Structure 1
Amino acid sequence: MKRMSFGISLILAVVAGFTLSAAFPATAFWPLAFVGVFILYWSLIGRSFWTGFLVGTITGATFWLTLINWLTLYLGPVPWLALGILQALFFGVGAAVSGIVINRGPQRWPSRWGRIGVVSIVLASVWTLRESITSVWPYGGFSWGRMAQSQAESPLAQNVAWVGTAGLTFLVVVSSAFLFQTLRERQTKLLAFPVLFFVSILAVPAFPHEITGYTNVLSVQGNSRAGLFDRGAPGSILQDHVSGTLPYQGQDIDMIVWPENASDLNPLQSVLAAQVLTAVSAKLDAPIVTGTITVDEQDRVFNSSLVWTDKALAQYDKIHPVPFAEYMPNREFWRLFQPDLVDLVTRDYSFGTRPNVVDINGVLAGISICFDITDDNQAYLMIGDGAEIILAQTNNADFGKTSENLQQLSIARLRAIETARSVVNISTVGTSAVISPDGATLDSIPAYQPAEMLTTVPLSTTITPAMSFGRVIEWSIGAVAIAGVLLILIRRKP
C-alpha cells in the first residue's frame, strides 16, 4: 500500500465518510464501520500533518453532514452546517495526528509486531481520545456519532458491557487498524493475526446479569403535535397521553411512563394538569412518570420529569440541557451571526442538580431525558445510585420522519447492554421500545402512530465492568494515545 496522489486521497476521504455514515441508522449496516476506518487510514499514507488534516476534515464533513441531516428538517442548513463543520474540524485534527502515527510510527517501532501491533493500538487510541474529548467539550460536548454506537445491532455489542462505549470504539478501530497495518506488510500469512483478533472479540460472551425482579410498565406514545413549530391548544399533548392511558384501567400496572414534554401544562403550576394527573393515577392505581417544563422560586426553567400520584413524589431536572436548542450559550455573540435562529431559543433551560435516580413504587429508576441517554457520566450516576431500570423519555417531534429517532434508539440499546439495565425508550412520536438488559427488544411502537406498550420489564442490580471501570478504561486509552504520539514526535538519541 503506497502513497497516493493528493486528489485520490481526497476522493477516498469522501468515500470513507459516506461509508462510516452508512454503518449507523437508518442504513445500519454495521460492518461498514470497519471499512470506513480502513479507507480513511489508507488515504492518510504519506500525508503531512496539514494535508492529513484536510483529508480528515473532508471525511468528517461527509460523515457528519450525512449522519445529522435531520437537523435541517425544520431549522434549515445553518445549525446543521455549524455543528457538522465543527465536528468535522475535530475529526480532521484526529486524522492529522493519525497520519503522523501511520507514517512515522513504523520507524519508531521498527519490528514487525511493533509496526502491526503498537502502531495499530496507538491509532485506535487516538480515535477514541478524539471521541472522548468531543463528547464533553465544548459546551458539554456532543456524544453522538461515536464509533461504538454503530455496533448496537452487531454481535460486537456485547463487548460494551465489559469495556464501555469508549472501549467498544477502541475495539472497532483497532480491528481495522490491525488489518490495515498487516496489509502494509504485504505478507498474506500475517492476515491470520487480524482475523483471529476479530474472531476473538466476536466470541466475547455477554456479561452475566442477574434479574432481581420485574415491574409492569405502561408506556404511552401519544403521537402528539409536540414540535418546536407546532401550535396545538394548551393541554393537547397531555390529553393525547391521557387518552392512551385510560383504556388500561383494571390492568396490573406498577408505573405509567409518558415521554418528555407529555404534560405540556406544568402540574406544579396548573391546577387543571394536576387534577388530570391525579385522576389518571388514581384510576389506574399507579404513579405516572411524565415530562414537563418546570419553574423554580428563582424563575429558573427546567426540562423536568415528575413522578406523580396525587402530587409530585419526585422530580428530576435535566442535568445536561442541549446547547443551541435548550439554551443559547454566549447568546449575544452567536446572535451576531444568525439572529433569527438564535431568537428561536426563546428560553434558556437551567442545569439540573437533582439526582437522576428516583423511587417509583418501590423501584429505583434512572431517568434520562432525550440526549441524556448519550451521556456516559449520567449512566455512571444512575448505576452508582442503584438504578434498577432506565426510563428514557424523549420528544423526537422536531426531527420528523428522519433517522434521528432510530439513531437515538440504537444508543439506548447500547446503553441497556452497557449498564445491564432494561431501558424503556418512550417518545412523543416514536420510535419507542422496551429493551432488555441483553439488548433484545421486548416491545416496540413504530414512529408516528399513537400506541401503548404494557410490558413486564426485568429489573437488575448487576454492576458491569463498564460501569465499574468506565472512566478508567477511557482515561487509559487516552493515556496510550498521548504517550504513543509523544514517543513518535520525540526523536531517538543516536
Structure 2
Amino acid sequence: MAGAFAGAAPADGTVTAAVIQGNVPRMGLDFVSQRRAVLDNHAERTRLLAEDVAAGRTAQPDLVVWPENASDIDPVRNADAYQIIEAAVSAVGAPTLVGTQEAPSVGDLHNTALLWLPGQGPVDSYRKREIQPFGERMPMRWFVRLFSEDVDRVQREFQPGDEAVSFAMGPASVGVATCWEIAFDDRVTSTVGSGAQILAVPSNNATFGFTEMTDQQLAMSRVRAVEHDRAVLLPATSGVSAIIMPDGRVVQRSEMFTSTALVEEVPLRSTTTLATRLGAIPEWALVATALAALGWVAVLGRRARGVRPAPESAAAPSSAATARSDAGQSDG
C-alpha cells in the first residue's frame, strides 16, 4: 500500500477498512424471497475474511462494512439472524456496519444500517432518509393501480429517517449515506457535517443486473470523495463494490455477481472543503443568476417592442400632397 496516499496525505491517521460483497443467490427481483441466503452469503464471506486474517494473508481490519439489505431479516426481532451476524462479526473481531431493515409487526418500516460490535450486538443505527419511489414507497398509488392491481400487494411502505449519522467504528468516525442517497447533495453534505471522517455507501444493486446503474453509482461516489475530501467505502450486495481515496482514485473494486472482500488502508479526514461548507449555496446562486438574466432579457425585449417607429401609412402627409388637396378644394 506504499504510495496509496500520493496527493492525498492522511490528516488524522489511517485505518484498515474491509468491504464485504457476499453476492446474491440469483440475479433479479426474486432474490428478495431468498433473504436468508443473502444473509448467509455475507456472514460466510466475513468468516472467510477472518480466516485470512488469522492465517496472516490479510491485515486485520479496524472496521468492516456490509451492503444495504445484506440482512433483509430484522436481526433485532429475529434470533436466528442475530446469531448469524453476531458469529460473523465476532469472528472478524471488528466493528461492522450491517445493512438491514427495521420491521416491527406493527408500525413503520425503515431501511436501516446497524453498528454492530463484537460481543455486544447492535449499539447504534441509521435510518435511510431518501426513500426510493416505486422501490421502497409507492407514490401515486391510485394512478399506478390503473395499470396493475399488483400495486396493492405492497401494503407497508418504508418511511424515511430524519437524522444524519456517523458511527464511531474503532478509531474512525464513519458517516452513512445509503445507496442512492449519494446522488443528493444535502444528504451527503449533512453526513459529512455529522462528523464523518470516512463515507460509507452501503448499496443493493442486485435488481439492476448487469446494467450501467452500478457504474453510475461508483462514478457518483468518486465525485463525492473529491467534493468532500473523504475516502468512500462502497459495499454492494452483488457489485460493483469499491474503495475510493479522497482524490477520487478507485484503489480496489470488485467484479459483479461475485463474493469477495476488499481490504485497504484509507486516510481519515476531519477538515472540511469549501464545497462542504457552502453546501447548495453555489447552486442556488447560479439558479438565481440565470433567472435574473432571463428576466432582464424579457424586460429588454418588451422595451424594444414598445419604441418601434410608427408605420409609414400613419405618417403626416407631405406638404406637396397638402397643397394639391387645398387646390382641389378651391376649384370645387
Larger RCO (alpha carbons 8 Å, 6+ apart): 2
Give the deviation of 1:336 after TM superposition: 2.4
TM-score, normalised to structure 1's length? 0.55
Q: Which residue of 2 aligns with 1:391?
A: 200
Say if 1:209 and 1:462, in contact at 8 Å, map to a contact too: no
Match of residue 492, structure 1, among 303, 306, 328: 303
The residue matched to 1:265 in structure 2 has which SS?
Answer: coil
Provide the C-alpha distance between the structure 2 equivalents of 1:329 and 1:231, rounded to a whole number of angstroms: 21
Distance 1:346 1:372 in 2: 24
Alignment correspondent of 2:42: 241
Is there any run of 5+ residues in structure 1 with no aligned partner, and where?
1-206
Structure 1 residue 330: Cα displacement: 3.2
Which structure is larger by alpha-carbon Rg, 1 or 2? 2
How far off is 1:210 after superposition? 5.2
Task: For 1:166-205, list aligned pairs within 5 A.
Answer: none
User: Does residue 312 in structure 1 map to residue 122 in structure 2?
Assistant: yes
Distance (Å, rounded) in 2 between the aligned partners of 1:317 and 1:445: 26
In the alignment, which residue of structure 1 is the partner of 2:95? 287
Q: Structure 2: any 5+ residue segments left out of the alignment?
A: 1-6, 308-332
Kindly indicate whether residue 50 of structure 2 is the aligned counterpart of residue 255 of structure 1.
no
SS of aligned partner of 1:245: helix
Q: What's the counterpart of residue 83 of structure 2?
A: 275
Root-mean-square deviation (CA, aligned residues, Å) is 2.2
Give me the TM-score of the superposition, normalised by structure 2.
0.81
Give the aligned partner of residue 87 of structure 1. Answer: none
The separation in 2 between residues aligned to 1:239 and 1:403, in whole angstroms, is 27
Aligned length: 288
Q: 1:378 aligns with which of 158, 169, 187?
A: 187
Aligned to 1:483: 292
* Alpha-carbon separation, structure 2, partners of 1:294 and 1:428: 18
* Secondary structure in structure 1 of the residue aligned to 2:31: coil
SS state of the match for residue 437, structure 1?
A: coil
Q: What residue number does 1:187 align with?
A: none
> Cα deviation per residue 1:262-315 (whole Å; 9 max; x = unaligned)?
012211111111112222222221122111111358610001100112221110
- The answer to whether structure 1 residue 221 and structure 2 residue 21 are counterparts is yes
Q: Which amino acid aligns with 1:230?
A: F
- Contact 1:215–1:254 (Cα < 8 Å) also in 2: yes
Deviations 1:88-142 (A, max 9, x none): xxxxxxxxxxxxxxxxxxxxxxxxxxxxxxxxxxxxxxxxxxxxxxxxxxxxxxx
% identical equivalent positions: 32
Q: Encode CA deviations 1:354-381: one digit per residue, 9 max, x unaligned.
A: 3332222242111111111101101111
Mean CA deviation greater in 270-279 or 410-419 = 270-279
Judging changes above 3 Å, is the alpha-carbon distance between structure 1 residues 209 and 419 closer, same or farther for their aligned structure 2 residues? farther
Describe the shift of the 1:404–1:233 C-alpha distance in structure 2 as closer, same or farther (beyond 3 A).
closer
Corresponding residue for residue 328 of structure 2:
none
Within 2, Cα distance between the matches of 1:485 and 1:409? Answer: 36
| Residue 327 (1) aligns with residue 128 (2) | no
Residue 133 of structure 1 corresponds to which residue in structure 2?
none
Instruction: Determine which of 22, 31, 50 is the counterpart of 1:230.
Output: 31
- SS of corresponding position for 1:460: coil
1:264 correspondence with 2:75: no
Distance 2:165 2:154 in 1: 25
Q: Secondary structure at the match of 2:74?
A: coil
User: 1:453: how far off?
Assistant: 0.5
**More displaced 10-residue stretch of structure 1: 429-438 or 258-267:** 258-267
Asked if 1:432 is matched to 2:241, the reply is yes
